[in-house]
Amino acid sequence: MSATRMAAAETSAEAVKAGYREFLFQCAPPYYDDPLVLVRGQGVFVTDAEGREFLDFFSGILTTGLGHCHPEVVQAIQEQVATLGHVSTLYLTEQQVEMARRLAEIAPGRLKKTFFTNSGTEAVETAILLACQYTGRSEVIALRYSYSGRSTLATNLTAHASWRPAASSIAGIKHVISPYPYRCPFKSPCDESCVERYAQDLEEAILTTTTGKIAAFIAETIQGVGGYIVPPPGYFQRIVEVVHRYGGLFICDEVQAGFGRTGGKWFGIEHWQVEPDIMVMAKTIANGFPLGATITRPEIAEAWKAKTISTFGGNPVAMAAGIATNRVMVRENTPARAAARGAQLRKGLEALQRKHEWIGEVRGMGLMQAMELVDDPRKKTPSPQKAKLLLEAAKEERLLLGVGGLNGHVIRLGPSMLITEEEMDDALGRLERACRRVEEKL
Ligand SMILES: Cc1ncc(COP(=O)(O)O)c(C=O)c1O
């Protein structure tokens, strides 16, 4: 880039940052001391307003699962928006039926009927409202460390103080102990034998903090915002048994873990052979186009008796994006790709952990891998400071990472599921150099 063009680009980036500060709510702060202004994306790479190229290892929060601007998805959106851009839920479209049919084909067990919305938050809202109507009950159990979205209900389901706005509490939601093996309150190392203790905690919570008649238990298969917390084997089988015994439905949140991300299966919950009663999806479902979906068994779907519409839900353009995304995912076999590239990533992360003792744990499944950073590995003291250092150091290496965990001390990784072996090696090289930069600063 010429010096004049570079100066103009920097000015436009500064203007965007100034405009952000002047015209936008500041409650959703961008990453980095000096936020990135992105202008283009292609595959695993994005370019900023200053012409710098970054390898995107977080996919806009696990959303561009096929990489940025996948040509087939772009073409489908362009064709649909020029043909029929909006209808509302008052009219039928072939696209909505086809997208629902495709979801039914890959969803576990008897899940067959879908309601479309525009976000994960709305998909969760739909699931809870449905469970309440089906059971005629209103109490819901969620997990500590969970994240469910940004509506009043979803922030109440969410169990991170920092994500819950003040003075917005609603009754009827209780939180049980998260199956968080690295910080298991029962035994270290946590294993299958702890499952019984988690089940006891759930049963005790139902019997002591609710009327004993719950509408639902909601859980992410891997707790995403919580820092990619993977439960011990047998957890979901045992927990769902308890939920059903007390007449509740199991709502499985696959917003982050769905569509092959965990490797080898379309949905995270399939690793534990459990069939959810209701499942919610969003994020990568349409490769970045706003779309949320709630799928369930026909008899549960029929329990929705109140009137409802969604003006934008099932929008034909979102459906076209979702159909094209699904077609590519099936053809490219994203579950198999995430398993192969995920194994490569995991090996690289474990090698890094051996070099840096402040990487307290490497965990995850498939292409959903995390590093929990600590100050003292024996005491497992969370280190948000190291996570911030690593995020910034990776930016210097032109690598974009994600952050999560209760204290903002977990580095989250989730690149495009179409990432190549060479791109993965490239990313791991950048990450290794970023870790070295952190080490130098300690
Ligand atoms: C597990 C989970 N559920 C629900 C949501 C809410 O989705 P959205 O941000 O699309 O409303 C998120 C968002 O990060 C999520 O991670």
Closest residue CA from atom 4 of ligand 1 = 148
Q: Please, which pLDDT band fits residue 1 given cuts at 50, 70 and 90?
A: low
Task: Check whether 242 has a pLDDT greater than 80.
Answer: yes
Contacting residues for 162 by C-beta, under 8 A, at least 6 apart = none
Burial of 46 (0-12, 13-18, 19+ CB in 10 A): buried
Multiple choice CATH, 335-412+428-442, 3.40.50.2000, 3.60.130.10, 3.90.1150.10, 3.40.50.740:
3.90.1150.10
**Distance from Cα 349 to the centre of ligand 1, integer Å:** 26
Chain segment 77-131, per-residue pLDDT in tens: 999 999 999 999 999 999 999 999 999 999 999 999 999 999 999 999 999 999 9
Return the residue matching tokens 């919305």: 117
Output the CA 34–ligand 1 centroid distance in Å. Answer: 25
| 24 CA from centroid of ligand 1 (Å) | 21
Could you tell me where the DSSP H helices lie in 24-70? 59-62
The DSSP bridge partners found for residue 59 are none
Pocket test for ligand 1, best of 117, 254, 283 (most atoms within 8 A of CB): 283
Smallest CA-to-CA distance from 205 within 239, 176, 238, 248 is with 176
Q: What is the pLDDT of residue 168?
A: 87
Residue 64's closest CA among 421, 420, 440, 418? 418
Pocket of ligand 1 contains residue 228 by CB under 6 Å: no
Check whether 57 has a pLDDT greater than 80.
Answer: yes
> Mean pLDDT, the chain, as a whole number?
96
Cα(320) to ligand 1 centroid in Å equals 21
Kindly state the average pLDDT of the residues 222-226: 98
Residue type at 185 in one-letter notation = P
The residue-averaged pLDDT of 200-210 equals: 98
206: its two tokens: 């139902």
Mean pLDDT of 189-201: 95
CA 282 to ligand 1: nearest atom:
10
Q: What is the pLDDT of residue 167?
A: 85
Nearest CA residue ID for atom 14, ligand 1: 149
Q: Answer for the pair 407, 384: CB distance below 8 angstroms, yes or no.
A: yes
Ligand 1 lined by 404 (C-beta under 6 Å): no
CB of 149 closer than 6 angstroms to any ligand 1 atom? yes
Q: Is 124 in the pocket of ligand 1 (CB under 6 A)?
A: yes
**Overall average pLDDT of the 12-25 stretch:** 96
Q: Whose CA is nearest to atom 3 of ligand 1?
A: 148
Q: Percent of the chain having pLDDT more than 90?
A: 96
Q: What are phi and psi of 382, to 5 degrees?
A: -60, 140
- The tokens describing 30, both together, are 């961008």
Q: What is the DSSP letter of 396?
A: H
| Class of domain 72-332 as given by CATH | alpha beta
Amino acid symbol at 277: D
Structure tokens at 307: 């009137």
- Structure confidence at residue 2 (pLDDT): 65
State whether the beta carbon of 413 lies less than 6 angstroms from ligand 1. no
State which ligand 1 atom lies nearest to the alpha carbon of 61: 14
User: What is the Å distance from ligand 1's center to 358 Cα?
Assistant: 29
CA distance 298 to 290: 25
Q: Which of 252, 256, 267, 412 has the most ligand 1 atoms within 8 A of CB, as the residue to mutate?
A: 256
Say how many Å lie between the first and final Cα of the chain, rounded.
35
Q: How far is the CA of 213 from the centre of ligand 1 (A)?
A: 27
pLDDT digits (tens, 9 = 90+) for 137-146: 999 999 999 9
In contact, 206 and 246? CB cutoff 8 Å: yes
DSSP summary character for residue 416 = -
Task: State the pLDDT confidence band at 441, using cuts at 50, 70 and 90.
Answer: very high
Mean pLDDT, residues 219-242: 98
Bridge partners of 43, per DSSP, are 68
Mutation test residue for ligand 1: of 121, 163, 262, the one with most atoms within 8 Å of CB: 121
Give the span between the Cα atoms of 255 and 280, in whole angstroms.
6
What are the structural domain ranges in the chain? 72-332, 335-412+428-442
For the cut 80, the answer to whether the pLDDT of residue 166 exceeds it is: yes
pLDDT-derived band at 164 (thresholds 50, 70, 90) equals very high
- The DSSP secondary-structure symbol of 269 reads G
Q: Range with the lowest mean pLDDT among 16-20, 93-97, 167-171, 291-295? A: 167-171
- CA Rg, the chain, in Å? 22
Q: Is the CB of 224 under 6 A from ligand 1?
A: yes
pLDDT in tens, 245-277: 999 999 999 999 999 999 999 999 999 999 999
Q: What is the residue with the minimal CA distance to atom 7 of ligand 1?
A: 120
Are the CB atoms for 263 and 339 separated by under 8 Å? yes
DSSP string computed for 60-89: HHHT-TT-BT-HHHHHHHHHHHTT-----T
In ligand 1, the atom with minimum distance to the C-alpha of 254 is 1
pTM, rounded to two decimals: 0.97
Find out whether the beta carbon of 256 lies less than 6 Å from any atom of ligand 1.
Answer: yes
Ligand 1 closest atom vs CA 124? 4
Interatomic CA distance for residues 416 and 260, integer angstroms: 11
pLDDT digits (tens, 9 = 90+) for 350-403: 999 999 999 999 999 999 999 999 999 999 999 999 999 999 999 999 999 999
